[in-house]
Amino acid sequence: MKYVIVGGVAGGATAAARLRRLDEECEIILFEKGDHISYANCGLPYFIGDVISEKKSLLLQTPISFGNRYDVDVRVKNEVVDIDTENKTVNVKNLLNGKEYQEKFDKLILSPGAQPIIPPLVGIKSERIFTLRNVSDTDRIKLQAVTQFNQLKEVVVIGAGFIGLEMVENLHALGYHITVIEKARQVMPNVDSSIAAAVQKELKNHNVTLLLNHEVKSFETEADRIRIDVGKVQKIEADFVILSIGVKANTKLAEAAGLAIGQHGIQVNEYLQTSNSDIYALGDAIEFPHPLSGIPYCNFLAGPANRQARICADNLVLENKIKYNGSVATAIAKIFNLTVGSTGLSERYLQQHNIDYLTSITHPFSHATYYPGAKQMTIKINFSPESGQLLGAQVVGEEGVDKRLDLLASVVSRQGNIFDLIDIEHAYAPPYSSAKDPVAYAGYVAENILTKRVVPMQWHELKAILAQNNWQDEYFLLDVRSAMEVKNGMIEGAVNYPVDELREFVDDIPQDKKIIVYCAVGMRGYIASRILMQSGFNQVYNLSGGYKTYQLMKN
C-alpha cells in the first residue's frame, strides 16, 4: 500500500508516524511545501518574545530525523499542485528547481492546514506588514521586524484573537508599545464580553492601547515607518504591523480535485473520508459538525488535528473502524498575568443560532483563601434551561484556570450536565483547591438557577433597567454588602441592608416591587434572595457575578 500525505505539520506528520507504527511494509511519502515539518507552531510567539530562546526547541523533528525514524520519504519544498482522482496521482512542484513531476498513490491524506486572511486593502503588501503562521514567518518577524524596523518602538497588532494577543505580550516584553486594532467591540471575539472585559483591563494595565470597534481602511509605508488609517482617529504610525485577523481553511487543492467543499472547509464523514473514498482529510482544512449544535465549522486547534491524524491513519489501515466525534473547541491563552480559556458554545453563538440557554457567572478563588496566595478567577457557564446540559464554559484568572477549564471541557465534550460538575471528585489540599472546588461551586450555583431557588439577573439586564428614567417605580435595588464595602462604591439608587441584618429590615422592603439583590460576587446575594423569597417576596432577582462583574462591564 502506498500512502501520500499532503502537509507535514501537526496533522500530516502525526498521520505518517501512526501509519508506520501500524504498517511496517507500506510506502509513505510526505509532501510539505515549506522548509520544516512537525514544528510547534503554537510556540512561535514565545520564540519572538525570547521566552523560548532557541528556535531548534520548536522543531520537534527535522525532515531527516523524521524520515529515518519512521522510514518516511519526506519531501520539503515540494508543493502538491494538482490531484488526478481518476488516475490516482498527484502533480508536484519542486520549489527549489521549479520542476514538476507526478506521484501515484493508493490512498491520499490531505492536511494542507489554513492560511491567514489578508484583506484587499491599499498598502497591504508592505514589507512592514507581517503574518504569523509558520517558522518562516517567525524568522521574518524576528530578524527583519524586531532587529531592523525598530526606530519608533511602536507596533500595531490588527486582530485581538488568541494569537494576536499572545503576540502583544511577547512584543511588549521586547520593549515595544503596542496598539491593538479590533473590528469587534471586544478583544477575543470568541469569548463572551464579561470574560473579555477582564482581558481588556489586563491589557490596559500593561499600557496597551486598545482601539475596539475600529476597522483598518488602508496602509501607507514610508522609508522608516508605516501609517495605518483606521478612519475614526488620526493615522497611527508604527515600526511594523502584525496582521492577525484570522485564518481560513486551505481548500484550494481539494476544490480543484472535485472534492465536496462545505461552507467552511473540506467535507468529511465520521471516518474523516472525503467525498472520494480513497482520499481522507484532517486538520484546519476540514469542517465537521459541532458535537453540541450539529452545525459544521472549522476548528483551528492543534489538539483536535493530532487526534484526527491518529484516527485517520487507523481508518486507512483498519478500513474505517474508528469514528471521529468532533471537537468542542477547547482553547486557552496566556495574556500577561492572566490565563483565559473557553470550551463549548459561547453565549453569542447560542444567541445567533437561537439555542435556549441559561448562564451563570461566579468568582471563586483558586485555592483555600486561608492558605496564602489565593487568586480570584471568573467562571462563566452556559447550560440548557431544560436538562441542565452544560453547553459551554469560559474561565479567566491568574491561577488554576487550566485545571478548571479541563474539567469543564470534559463535561461539555461528553454532553454532561451541571450536576456532573457537582459530582466530579476533585483533588483537594489547601494549596491547590478548596473543599468546594470552583467547578463544583459553578455547578451548585447553576443547580440553584435551574431549580429556581434563585432567579439570576445579568449585568446587561440591570444596566438596561437603570437606564430607564422611572425604574424605581417598578424595581427596588438592594445592596447586601457590608457598610465598609459600600463606602468604596455602590450602584446608584441602591439601598444598603447588609445580609447579616436583612431580616431586621424585611418590613422596609416594598412587597409590590421587583427586588434586585446584589453583593460583591453573588454568594451573599443568593442568601439574601432566599431570605426574601421565603418571606413572601415573589419577584426577587440576584445579580449574577455581583458588583464585581457589573463594575467591570457597565462602561
> For residue range 429-477, what is the model confidence (pLDDT) as tens digits?
999 999 999 999 999 999 999 999 999 999 999 999 999 999 999 999 9
Catalytic residue among 26, 42, 298, 312: 42
| pLDDT value, residue 73 | 97
Burial class (CB in 10 A: 0-12, 13-18, 19+), 242: buried
Among 334, 293, 446, 430, CA closest to 379: 446
Q: What is d(CA 283, CA 313) in angstroms, rounded to the nearest whole number?
A: 13
Helix (H, G, I), strand (E, B) or coil at 359: strand
Distant-in-sequence, close-in-space partners of 473: CB < 8 Å, separation ≥ 6: none
Mean pLDDT of 372-386: 97
Q: What is d(CA 211, CA 436) in angstroms, rounded to the nearest whole number?
A: 40
List pLDDT tens digits, range 248-262. 999 999 999 999 999
Q: Are 532 and 517 in contact (CB under 8 A)?
A: yes
Mean pLDDT of 183-208: 96
CB atoms inside a 10 Å sphere around CB 310: 20
List pLDDT tens digits, range 83-138. 999 999 999 999 999 999 999 999 999 999 999 999 999 999 999 999 998 888 88
Residue 222, all three cell numbers? 514610508
The pLDDT of residue 505 is above 70: yes
Band of pLDDT at residue 152, cut at 50, 70 and 90: confident
Using a pLDDT cut of 90, give the percent of the chain over it: 89
Band of pLDDT at residue 555, cut at 50, 70 and 90: low
Burial class (CB in 10 A: 0-12, 13-18, 19+), 489: exposed
| pLDDT value, residue 432 | 95
Distant-in-sequence, close-in-space partners of 535: CB < 8 Å, separation ≥ 6: 506
- C-alpha 93, offset from chain centre: 36
Residue 51, all three cell numbers? 521566552
Q: What is d(CA 287, CA 289) in angstroms, rounded to the nearest whole number?
A: 7
- C-alpha 420, offset from chain centre: 23
Residue 102, all three cell numbers? 507526478
The pLDDT of residue 160 is above 90: yes
Residue 89 pairs with which residues in a beta bridge?
84, 104
Q: What is d(CA 418, CA 258) in angstroms, rounded to the nearest whole number?
A: 44
Residue 393, all three cell numbers? 464554559
Q: Are 45 and 4 in contact (CB under 8 A)?
A: no
Question: DSSP letter at 235?
Answer: P
Q: CA angle, 99 as apex, 95 and 103 as ends, to 5°? A: 95
The pLDDT of residue 142 is above 90: no
Q: Please name the helix (run of DSSP H) or strand (run of DSSP E) that holds residue 470, with its range, or none.
A: none
519 classed as catalytic: no
Band of pLDDT at residue 233, cut at 50, 70 and 90: low
CB atoms inside a 10 Å sphere around CB 469: 6
Distant-in-sequence, close-in-space partners of 183: CB < 8 Å, separation ≥ 6: 213, 214, 215, 245
Mean per-residue pLDDT over the chain, rounded = 95
Band of pLDDT at residue 347, cut at 50, 70 and 90: very high
List pLDDT tens digits, range 412-422. 999 999 999 99
User: 12-26, 148-162, 512-526: lowest mean pLDDT where?
Assistant: 148-162
Q: What is d(CA 7, CA 60) in angstroms, rounded to the nearest whole number?
A: 16
For residue 528, which phi and psi values (nearest 5 degrees)?
A: -65, -40
The pLDDT of residue 352 is above 80: yes
| pLDDT value, residue 231 | 82
Question: DSSP letter at 79?
Answer: E
